[in-house]
């Protein structure tokens, strides 16, 4: 999946596949996680959020099933 770099103290890059509804996030630690069945509007809201880390913790982490892939 192609990820785009983001300005965040927690997240390094994010990518999204609309067909499979998979959100992929790379953290500054180097870990990469995929979050499943994420609606496209959640991805768009993440990108527009003033703080990507806060949005991630409030709306994605512990909400969607995920798997570490890297």
Q: Model-level pTM?
A: 0.95
Looking at 1-70, list the stretches that DSSP marks H as alpha helix, in order from N- to C-terminal side: 40-48, 52-59
CA distance 27 to 5: 10
Domain ranges of the chain: 4-68
Higher-scoring residue by pLDDT: 1, 4: 4
Mean pLDDT of 18-45: 98
**How much is the pLDDT for 44?**
97
* Whether the predicted pLDDT of 1 surpasses 90: no
Give percent of the chain above pLDDT 70. Answer: 100
If you average pLDDT over every residue of the chain, what do you get? Answer: 97
Burial class (CB in 10 A: 0-12, 13-18, 19+), 62: exposed
**How much is the pLDDT for 19?**
97
Q: For the chain, how long is the longest CA-to-CA vector?
A: 29
């Amino acid at each position: 999946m192609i990820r785009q770099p983001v300005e965040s103290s927690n997240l390094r890059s994010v990518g999204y596949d609309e067909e499979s509804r998979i959100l992929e996030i790379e953290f500054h630690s180097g870990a990469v996680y995929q979050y499943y069945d994420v609606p496209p509007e959640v991805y768009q809201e993440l990108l527009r959020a003033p703080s990507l880390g806060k949005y991630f913790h409030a709306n994605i982490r512990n909400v969607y099933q995920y798997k570490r892939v890297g």
